[in-house]
Structure 1
């Protein structure tokens, strides 16, 4: 009677072609040790060279550290290849291909990050927003290219088309759910080319006023005059009317002064002109203007149009108001209050009632 035998439908996993002989282990250890020593020597040479060259943007301590890590990681991968571990297959690829792809992407990330930081730092202590945006765009593009190259090195290029198709479908789904984020990003890129404002500018956006603190990919941060932080999405900012008070080096100060109808307007204009001549921050060119602008209900309006440096505009305006008021008071020129004169079509008649007898007795008592 034949015995029932069961066969497994699962194919046996191929063994790992590991070579663990004593000689091979010693050789792998020597490779790691040698690459470690060689990496340290190269790192010291790069650091020493960075103190003697002007090309510190590429030859510096950060570069030396990255090169040292590359030597160490390369030695480890070499030793694992020697031991046969890297030849173990995982699907369509091997452990060695995956390890190389991961190492490639890791060092690409370090290079991209250091390059971005250098681009920002090399522009000065106060980096311009266009430099920051350019550095970030370079960083993300570099990382994206490195990611797809790493997938190719990992040996999954045949599955790459299917992955891209799945990523495209996922991107469409995420696009509908995160269209605000995408629109903010696109608006941030457009603002980079348009350059309507810079960090440190005094701006007015709709009803909001303040100083630009930071310009990012998705939003812009403004410090209001009362010290509060305002975050404005770039999409809303791009579609708003932006008033930049610091775009040009000079800015006009507009002040209107009301004087009484009985006052001498020409004398008031001369007094105001002398006051402007005594304020050092009022520019001579363009020449300040002082003239009678209009006749209001209860006063004559004298317009003052003076130019000042944009960063000193507020100080100049306060100085003009203070000094003009003081000079007009000393000259006896009245700055009137609003007045109203009422005219009646018919003559008003006033009736005076005599007090009654009881009230007279009480007053006499």
Structure 2
């Protein structure tokens, strides 16, 4: 009997029993039909159940692929091909390991997407990081289990040891990357900010757009993108402008010394009472805080919803200015008083008399 040899396989027989070929064909057809039936049933059921996060089109496709791949592997076993050796393992072990890793990867990816999408609304950074950690952990476990199923884990021990040494060397040269990753994990538990929060980090300020494992992205107030490494972010003073539902507005107004200060305070309180978004509790505070060089400084402290803080502040400034102008209360410019040690003597000279007949003024 003629044999065909391949460089990576032992000789394979050209002729196979007709019974085995027919049996393999039947297995593939049955697996294909069963996969399609299961797929249709799951798609139909997904329209009637509330468990759409697991019974849906994606689940149906994954199960269909599992039936087809399982039938193909079974058919190859019937034909005897899976029993051939490749070094220390067999074709069947490698095929099973590859199929196991492939379907675990699909399940991990879909689970990650379901965890993010099923959170409702805009997913927070804790949901995103939890989903990504679950994905990477499951894929890593599946990879090493696949190596074990393939029967090559022992042969890879030396390679993994060398890779470990190389990893240590690379770790010293990539301390920043590792530090950013660890800082991202710590921030996941600390939760100083969330996507959509208005924050200030050092000189940077804006809206948090994305929180990733190694960096955080902020859209600044002028629309530019700021990428901040997680290590720097974790070690910085983070001012979260929207963590609490209310926020205080602080404004200072200067009035002239000749003005009735009590009347000015009363007018400002009336202005605050007329603005709907100024909260009654905590109660606004208006008081004289300082006697500066050129003005009596009145401090205004009012509380407003955090998301409306800027609108309330601009409204208070405008309405206070209008009210003080309407009441004739002066907001003075900076003034200086010059003192001289000796009295100043000023000489005023009369203009010379004009001669008669000069013709001027005629």
Asked if these proteins are the same fold (TM beyond 0.5), I'd say: yes
For 2:169, the equivalent position in structure 1 comes to 173
Q: Secondary structure at the match of 2:12?
A: coil
- In structure 2, do the counterparts of structure 1 residues 181 and 55 end up closer, same or farther at CA, with 3 Å as the change threshold? same
Matched, 1:54 2:86: no
For 2:3, the equivalent position in structure 1 comes to none
CA distance in 2, matches of 1:217, 1:18: 54
For 2:323, the equivalent position in structure 1 comes to 327
Q: What's the CA shift string for 1:111-142, capped at 9, x where partnerless?
A: 00000000000011301110000000000000
Contact 1:17 1:84 in 2 (8 A): no
CA distance in 2, matches of 1:64, 1:12: 37
Matched, 1:70 2:29: no
Q: What's the CA shift string for 1:271-307, capped at 9, x where partnerless?
A: 0000000000000000000001010000000000000
Deviation at 1:60, TM superposition (A): 1.4
Displaced runs of 4 or more, over 4 A? 349-354
Query: Which one is further off, 173-182 or 86-95?
Result: 173-182
Query: Which one is further off, 317-326 or 337-346?
Result: 337-346
Question: Of 293, 296, 309, which aligns to 1:300?
Answer: 296
Equivalent residues in 2 for 1:141-152 (5 A)?
141-152=137-148
Contact 1:18 1:85 in 2 (8 A): no
CA distance in 2, matches of 1:17, 1:330: 105
Contact 1:17 1:88 in 2 (8 A): no
CA distance in 1, matches of 2:48, 2:221: 48
CA distance in 2, matches of 1:280, 1:142: 53
Deviation at 1:46, TM superposition (A): 1.4
Matched, 1:257 2:275: no
For 2:182, the equivalent position in structure 1 comes to 186
CA distance in 2, matches of 1:201, 1:287: 26
Matched, 1:126 2:122: yes
For 1:5, the equivalent position in structure 2 comes to none
CA distance in 2, matches of 1:128, 1:99: 39
For 1:226, the equivalent position in structure 2 comes to 222
With structure 2 as the length reference, what TM-score do the two structures score? Answer: 0.91
Deviation at 1:217, TM superposition (A): 0.9
Deviation at 1:24, TM superposition (A): 2.1
Contact 1:19 1:84 in 2 (8 A): no
Deviation at 1:348, TM superposition (A): 3.4
Contact 1:246 1:310 in 2 (8 A): yes
Deviation at 1:148, TM superposition (A): 0.4
Equivalent residues in 2 for 1:350-365 (5 A)?
none
Matched, 1:87 2:72: no
CA distance in 2, matches of 1:224, 1:106: 41
For 2:279, the equivalent position in structure 1 comes to 283
Contact 1:16 1:84 in 2 (8 A): no
With structure 1 as the length reference, what TM-score do the two structures score? Answer: 0.91
For 1:309, the equivalent position in structure 2 comes to 305
Contact 1:219 1:232 in 2 (8 A): yes
Aligned Cα RMSD in Å? 2.2
Q: Secondary structure at the match of 1:16?
A: strand
Q: What's the CA shift string for 1:235-288, capped at 9, x where partnerless?
A: 110011000010100000000000000000000000000000000000000000
- Matched length: 348
Structure 2: tracts of 5 or more residues without a match? 1-6, 351-358
Question: Of 254, 258, 271, which aligns to 2:267?
Answer: 271
Matched, 1:154 2:143: no
- In structure 2, do the counterparts of structure 1 residues 184 and 12 end up closer, same or farther at CA, with 3 Å as the change threshold? closer
Matched, 1:238 2:207: no
Q: What's the CA shift string for 1:72-110, capped at 9, x where partnerless?
A: 001111111222221221111011111110110000000
For 2:332, the equivalent position in structure 1 comes to 336
